[in-house]
Amino acid sequence: MAEDSPKRRKANFNEAETEVLIEQVLKHERLLFAAGPGRASAGQKRKVWELIRHKVNPVAACPRDVEDLKKRWRDLKRRDRSKLCRLSQGCGPPAPPALGLLLAPEELPPAAAPPA
């Protein structure tokens, strides 16, 4: 029955892929997500995402395209923010040390902000 399906699901991102993705996106964060007059053009952003794809694919379980990487990044950000939201409301387990990895310091609630 699997042969009849037109498209198979890709493998989940492994830990190495996720680490490389986070490292590279944070390295190029200003170029990818800056707003205002100094922001990058769509072509520049596309080139940066392609560069990130070339860094992720050597450690990937299966070949990833740019859309896969963008979706994974959005999911990581959403998950991190929802964890912070739950923690700032006082429910849930204590925050892991790297919880604020994907958030800017101004986005962290006062209790979760790293010491200055």
pLDDT at 6: 79
Domain contains 65: yes
3-class state of residue 6 by DSSP: coil
* Cα–Cα nearest to 62, from 111, 16, 116, 96: 16
Domain contains 45: yes
Domain contains 31: yes
pLDDT truncated to tens, each residue of the chain (116 aa)?
455 667 788 999 999 999 999 999 999 999 999 888 888 999 999 999 999 999 999 999 899 999 999 999 999 999 988 877 777 776 555 545 554 556 556 655 565 545 54
Domain contains 26: yes
Domain count, the chain: 1
Residues in CB range of 70: below 8 A, 6 or more apart: 49
**Domain of residue 53, residue span:** 15-87
Let me know: does 20 contact 55? Beta carbons within 8 Å.
Answer: yes
pLDDT at 90: 60
